[in-house]
Amino acid sequence: MRILFVGDVVGRSGRNAIAEHLPGLKRDWKLDLVVVNGENAAGGFGITEAIYHEFIDAGADVVTLGNHAWRQKEALVFIERVGALIRPLNFPKRNPGRGAAIIEAKNGARVLVINAQGRVFMEPLNDPFTAIDFELEACKLREGADAIIVDFHAEATSEKQAMGHFCDGRASLVVGTHTHIPTGDYRILAGGTAYMTDAGMTGDYDSVIGMEKEEPLSRFVTGLSTGRYEPAAGAGTLSGVAVEINDATGLAMKIAPVRIGGRLEETKPGFWP
């Protein structure tokens, strides 16, 4: 099974990168499943229903979120109508939507996609380890699902690495989102789970984590907030990670970073044509 995970889409630049590159990648790489993190897609904060459908039309099979899930208030409503949009599993129980979903891949496989949010340097949500453990035990790899993907939306690299080891052997892929910088530690863990601390953002890297440079620089230099953060509008890089899954075990055989377009050096998986 061939899976592409695309990191946080930031603003129009990121959306343009999705529209430009994703349809061709899905066709040329014969992808069975595409996951896109869309929590920064609408002006850098949140997602709208129109943008969600743009991603689905471009080839995404499921869209994950994060700490900005509800910044566009319409998401509180439309998330209940669509089946392939998931928010962090460990949000308080009364939040709308769901934090995990079984998605049918192109090859007919059942893929459990889980979205959870970390707590280190972030909001004190419910314990993500307990929440994910419950899902992994309730829908075990090769019993309830043919593959399992965990999008762990977290700030601290230590918490992300801990989650990777916590899920090792029980998930196909654990990948971090939120910090918007692609990491070089992509690998397959001892138990067979593919892991990468952060998939990076899909957006303009001539920026401060996707935002126009002036306001973040001003805040760092002066300590004062003088305006709003605005998404950078230059050419976007599609960033993410490609994984090939063993159909018999549900565990990973290959993993590679993906960076296409924009300012970063292009990187594609050498194991797909």
Q: Mutual orientation of helices 128-138 and 157-167 as an angle, nearest 10°? A: 20
For Cα atoms 99, 103, 104, give the angle at the middle one, nearest 5 degrees. 175
Say whether 68 is catalytic.
yes
DSSP 3-state of 6: strand
Q: Where are the alpha helices (DSSP H) in the chain?
A: 11-28, 49-58, 75-78, 128-138, 157-167, 214-222
Q: Which of 21, 68, 153, 178 is catalytic?
A: 68
Distance of CA 65 to the CA centre of its chain: 7
Cα dihedral across residues 206, 211, 217, 220: positive or negative: negative
Active-site residue set: 68
